[in-house]
Structure 1
Amino acid sequence: MSEPGLSAIMSERRQLINLAYRLLGSLAEAEDAVQETYTRWYALSAQQRAAIAAPGAWLTTVAGRICLDLLGSARARRERYVGEWIPEPLPEPTEWGTGRPGATADPADRVTLDESVNMAFLVVLESMTPAERVAFILHDVFRYPFADVAEIVGRTPAACRKLASSARRRIRAARAPASPAAEQARVVRDFKRAWEAKDIRALIGLLDPDATAIADGGGLASAELRPLEGGERVARACVEIAARLSDMTLVESTVNGQPGLVGRLNGVTVTVYAFAVADGRITHIWAIRNPEKLRPWTAGA
């Protein structure tokens, strides 16, 4: 058996990035995990590489194990994180690599945006154990059989089936009825206009009474350290931000595949806002301000 060529091996990179981002919630960590995967591949001898019948499966297995290890250590790191930790937001793929804010150089690093990367979904994934998350993503999102999942997680197929089932219950318990995309876009657009006008009554009307806003500054940008709860409280905070940051412009954008907003100062992205909308009202706002998490939005700015 001959050793697979470079192009065949590197063609797996896009799939590996997609998998690792969903497992880790961070594009930067996903890129590191995939880089480590390829490092291990090329650490094998030519004879060892040639003996691997399915290089793509080998790379996926190694990447999955690396991500599983990283998820275990991430819990400890996030306990020390300053304030709330929110998954890293992603721009529309068409904006990547265009030289515009939100550009990244390598098309292979683009993540395919679908329901499994919207912010609400990723936040629920954060509540899972590492094994639950890996089993669920590999089986339910990427359709790997439980026999293959078991090899990655280091448990029996039956145990992995239970892990995925437990993860599904978490998803169902946390998921509100999704509003149609057009309605989400309309609500976010109306929210933007009310925010720019500092119209607190309109903002309150667009927010669910139990709405929650969570900001992530990571100690590198100013942000509330704890969630803001209650529609009126969130609305008043928005008005305060609009008054304090009068030079900030709000731009409608796609955030993790759903309608969102981008806050820019002097043309530089300083905040990305993701939303969850149910029954015509905003139930959650996630404001990502940590500049390290805004790299895909600021490269080329």
Structure 2
Amino acid sequence: MTNRFEPGHGRPDPALSAIMSERRQLINLAYRLLGSLADAEDVVQETYARWYAMPRRQRDAIASPGGWLTTVASRICLNLLGSARARRERYVGEWIPEPLPERREWTDGVTADPADRITLDESVNMAFLVVLESMTPAERVAFILHDVFRYSFAEVAEIVGRTPAACRQLASSARRRIRASQAPATPTTAQAGIVRDFKRAWEAKDVSALIGLLDPDATVIADGGGLVGAVLRPIAGRERIARAYLDVARIAPDLTLLERTVNGQPGLIAQQHGITVTVFAFRIAGDRITNIWAVRNPEKLRPWTAG
């Protein structure tokens, strides 16, 4: 991070290091709230713009700059979540949260600053983010701030403009949604083996093997954003899914499938001519795949694509 200087002064802002050290926390918070790295980056940029728009004396009077930044970023996210529903009604096809690679797999030059990288844990796996999408904006903010980032309900109340008791209820409601959606835990190594078997069966065009790896009620959701080809509605049922993927193999024989970490869990990417064109995230219950999320919207593949 290069030094920034306070306008009108010939020396660095003495509070700069403390202020900029919050950047990673803000990126992590905003991504979990919005499900979009691009939107999270915009939120953090706007948050810092508001900080530096204040007179120096007013900034110096703030006892907890980190708390101020978190409050402002959270409120911006809350406003964005309120308008996101209307935007997604106009979205072409299904909307899936933006997938993230493992830290060491980030493409050089796309997110060069380590402070911009997301900490990968269970609160960013794709199944978790998809459930968050079903929550109200207030539920989502209260839950993420309290359960994930460990803010007290009094602090959450100040951010969302509700009472602590109301925020406690919001987080409790969100928690019930999460519990209702959770599958029995499958060890990561077992998940990786199932994803690898899926990849091999797909490459071998083995429909029986594909069907055997899928739950009878499995679903596939694809997100092309209207920018590239993708099924506009979910595909349900393992036979239909298996045959759909065999169709893809026939239509695009030059696809290269690679095992990658997607939002902290085993996943796949598909490349054509060395460029990532699809990222696949999986939800696995026991020894069967129950959900596949296929992100094809190129605007959501920046960290995966050389450029």
Match of 2:97 in 1: 87
Displacement, 1:4? 5.2
Please, which of 121, 128, 141 is the counterpart of residue 128 of structure 2?
121
- Structure 2 letter corresponding to 1:253: R
Tell me the distance in 1 between the aligned counterparts of 2:167 and 2:207. 48
TM-score by length of 2: 0.95
Tell me the distance in 2 between the aligned counterparts of 1:287 and 1:97. 20
Matched, 1:67 2:74: no
Match of 2:280 in 1: 273
- Structure 1 letter corresponding to 2:39: E
Please, which of 19, 35, 38 is the counterpart of residue 25 of structure 1?
35
Matched, 1:58 2:68: yes
- Per-residue CA shift, 1:171-215, capped at 9, x if unaligned? 111111121101100000000000000000000000000000000
Counterparts of 1:1-301 in structure 2 under 5 Å?
A: 5-96=15-106, 98=108, 103-298=110-305, 300-301=306-307
Displacement, 1:107? 1.2
Tell me the distance in 2 between the aligned counterparts of 1:130 and 1:207. 33
8 Å Cα contact 2:107-2:303 kept in structure 1: no
Structure 1: give runs of 5+ residues left out of the alignment: none
8 Å Cα contact 2:221-2:292 kept in structure 1: yes
SS in 2 for 1:250: strand
- Structure 1 letter corresponding to 2:67: A
- Structure 1 letter corresponding to 2:45: Q
- Structure 2 letter corresponding to 1:44: M
- Per-residue CA shift, 1:127-153, capped at 9, x if unaligned? 000000000000000000000100111
- Structure 2 letter corresponding to 1:146: F
- Structure 2 letter corresponding to 1:267: G
- Structure 1 letter corresponding to 2:285: A
Tell me the distance in 2 between the aligned counterparts of 1:172 and 1:244. 39
Tell me the distance in 2 between the aligned counterparts of 1:98 and 1:153. 37
Tell me the distance in 2 between the aligned counterparts of 1:277 and 1:28. 28
Tell me the distance in 1 between the aligned counterparts of 2:236 and 2:213. 15
RMSD between aligned alpha carbons? 1.0
TM-score by length of 1: 0.96
Of all paired residues, the percent bearing the same amino acid is: 77
- Per-residue CA shift, 1:203-233, capped at 9, x if unaligned? 0000000000000000001000000000111
8 Å Cα contact 1:211-1:231 kept in structure 2: yes
Displacement, 1:97? 5.3
8 Å Cα contact 2:30-2:77 kept in structure 1: yes
Tell me the distance in 2 between the aligned counterparts of 1:70 and 1:242. 38
Tell me the distance in 2 between the aligned counterparts of 1:190 and 1:97. 26
8 Å Cα contact 2:107-2:304 kept in structure 1: no
Structure 2: give runs of 5+ residues left out of the alignment: 1-12
Displacement, 1:98? 3.7
- Structure 2 letter corresponding to 1:110: R
Matched pairs, number: 295
- Per-residue CA shift, 1:28-70, capped at 9, x if unaligned? 0000000000000001100000000000000000000000000
- Quickly say closer, same or farther: Cα 1:4–1:51, change in 2 above 3 A: farther
